[in-house]
Amino acid sequence: MAAEGADRWLVREELHAQPGTMLGFWLYLMSDCLIFACLFAMYGVVGHNYAAGPSPKDLFELPLVAVNTAMLLFSSITYGFAMIEMQRRRVNATIVWLIVTGLFGLAFVGIELYEFQHLIHEGAGPQRSAFLSAFFALVGTHGLHVSFGIVWLVTLVFQLKRWGLTDATRRRLACLSMFWHFLDLIWIGVFTYVYLMGVLR
């Protein structure tokens, strides 16, 4: 009975899906852009206030950050493969590429958590200076978004196993695709502005 009810719910959702779903999601992404713009602006204002503490040159390990960046870039590529398989109506192949994407995302979050733990262990926690407060806020917010994206991705994998490539699941895959690539673009900004320019400054 529960399975039948879930199937009826899915059919109703497909029949009554609003045509403005994608527009609404674009508006959400724009609001996320404002959040990150504020965090970048805050970092730009207080990013030089070290309070006689460590600077980016003292803290950041560019090789580790480069590996982390590669994890996220690879995840965007594999998500692109998932979307190609979705267009070809290959459910199992779509699921496989989503799982690979999720593994890259987990690697990214894992490396970021290691970096945070290492900084805090070295006495460079967010309370140490305005620079570190802004750094943890910006990078941590991005990490939370990636973590949410992984949860969303796992949910979609289970939905694809249950219902296949319906109009609803295809729409959700498209929304997550925009969200995932958006996070990729934000991270390129973080890597360039926070890490690379911080070390070279």
Query: Residue 129 is part of a domain; what is its CATH number?
Result: 1.20.120.80
Residues 6+ apart with CB under 8 A from 9: none
Q: Assess if residue 7 is contained within a domain.
A: no
Q: Assess if residue 1 is contained within a domain.
A: no
Amino acid at 107: A
What would the pLDDT profile of 113-165 be if each residue is shown by its tens digit? 999 999 999 999 999 999 999 999 999 999 999 999 999 999 999 999 999 99
Q: Is 47 within 8 Å of 57 (Cβ atoms)?
A: no
Q: Which domain holds residue 80?
A: 70-201
Q: Assess if residue 92 is contained within a domain.
A: yes
Q: Assess if residue 182 is contained within a domain.
A: yes
pTM of structure: 0.89
CB < 8 Å & 24+ apart, contacts of 151-155: 152/176, 152/179, 153/98, 153/101, 153/102, 153/105, 154/102
The total of structural domains in the chain comes to 1
Q: Assess if residue 30 is contained within a domain.
A: no
